[in-house]
Amino acid sequence: MFDEDNFNENGELNNLNKDEENKIKSEIGNNETKSKKEEEPSRKLVMPGELLDEGNYKAGIGTYIADKKIYAATLGLLEIKGQYINVIPIKGPYIPKVGDSVIGMVINTSIVSWKVDIFSPYIATLHATNYLNRPFNPLRDDIRQYIDIGDTIYAEIISFNRTRDPVLSVRNKGLGKLKGGRLIHMVPTKVPRLIGRRGSMINLIKDYTHCKFKIGQNGVIWLQGNKIEDEFLVVKIIRKIEREAHTLGLTDRIKEFIEKEKKRSDVDNGVN
C-alpha cells in the first residue's frame, strides 16, 4: 500500500480502495462482540521497518512492500484480516478522507470562504455558498457575520486529493456551526472505538451521562451535558478508551467504570 508510486489517476492516495478500508476499520469494533471464551491473541506491537511477511499475504493498511516482502510502515498493532496484513497505527495525524464528518475551528476567511483548522496537516475550506445554500455576493454580504474566526463547525469532507486541500460541506442534517458545549481532543485512530460496533459504545455513554455528542473522525468531539460532572466523566471515559483501545472486552469494562464513577460521585454528593 505504501508502494512508492501508489497514487491512482485521480491523484488520490491509494491506501486501499475506500470500501476495503472502511470494512477493516469497522472490524476493529468487532472484537467487542467476540465472547470472552474465544480468546483471541492480543495484537502484536510492531515497529517501522519490521518484516511481517514474505509472500503469504497481501499488503494492507500501514504496510509497504520492498523486494516482494511486506514491512510495517508505522509503529502500530499487527492485524491479519483474511488475505490482508494490516498495521493499525498507534498514533498519527488525521489525514482527511472524503465522507468523514469532522469538527474544525475557523482560523481565517477569504472573501467568499472560510479557512478551517480540522486539526490535520491540511487546512480545509468551507465556501459561503455551501453554508448559506444560495449564491453569495461578497459586495453586499460580509462573510464574517455568518461564521467568524474562532467559531467551531461540524462538517463533512466532500473532496480531498493530492492537488486540492480538503473542501467541506454543511449541507447534510446535523452539520453547521456549533454553539455552546465543549470540545475534547482524542487520538483520531481511536475514534472508531469511541463509537463502537454499530454505535454500541457511544450509545452506552449517552445513556449513562445524558450528554449530547457530535463526533469528528478527526479526533475532535463536541459534547454538551446537563451537569458539569457528567461532562467531566465523559472526558475520563474517553481517556480510558484511548489507553485501552486495542484491548478486548472494552465496552463491558467502560460500563463497569461508569457505574463505579457514578457511585463514587453519588457518595461524594451525599446521595444514598
Q: Which residues of the chain form contacts with another protein (CB under 8 A)?
A: 2, 4, 13, 42, 45, 47-51, 62, 64, 66, 71, 73-76, 89-93, 95, 105, 107, 117, 119, 121-123, 148-152, 162-163, 165, 178-183, 185, 222, 228, 232, 240, 243-244, 247, 257
Residue 20's CB: how many other CB atoms inside 10 A? Answer: 14
Write the CB contacts of 219 (distance below 8 Å, at least 6 apart in sequence).
94, 119, 185, 186, 187, 188, 190, 191
Closest separation in Å from C-beta 243 to another protein: 6
CB of 235 to another protein, least distance (A): 9
Q: How far is the CB of 74 from another protein (least distance, A)?
A: 5
Q: Which is nearer to another protein, 59 or 73 (CB)?
A: 73
| Least distance from another protein to the Cβ atom of residue 91, Å | 3
**Cell numbers describing residue 253:** 469494562
In sequence order, what are the residues at sequence separation of 6 or more whose Cβ sits closer than 8 angstroms to the Cβ of residue 100?
156, 157, 216, 217, 218
Give bridge partners of residue 88 from the DSSP assignment.
77
Report whether 164 contacts 215 (CB < 8 A): no
Q: Which of 238, 235, 239, 240 is nearest to 225 (CA)?
A: 235
* Distance of closest approach, residue 248 Cβ to another protein, in angstroms: 12
Q: Which is nearer to another protein, 75 or 80 (CB)?
A: 75
User: Smallest gap, in angstroms, from Cβ of residue 58 to another protein?
Assistant: 18
Cβ distance to another protein smaller for residue 198 or 243: 243
**Residue 38 or 67 with smaller CB distance to another protein:** 67
First to last CA, the chain: 57
Q: How far is the CB of 140 from another protein (least distance, A)?
A: 26
Pick the closer one to another protein by CB: 10 or 129. Answer: 10
Q: Which is nearer to another protein, 80 or 184 (CB)?
A: 184
Report the residue number, 4 or 38, with the smaller CB distance to another protein. Answer: 4
- 55, three cell numbers: 509472500
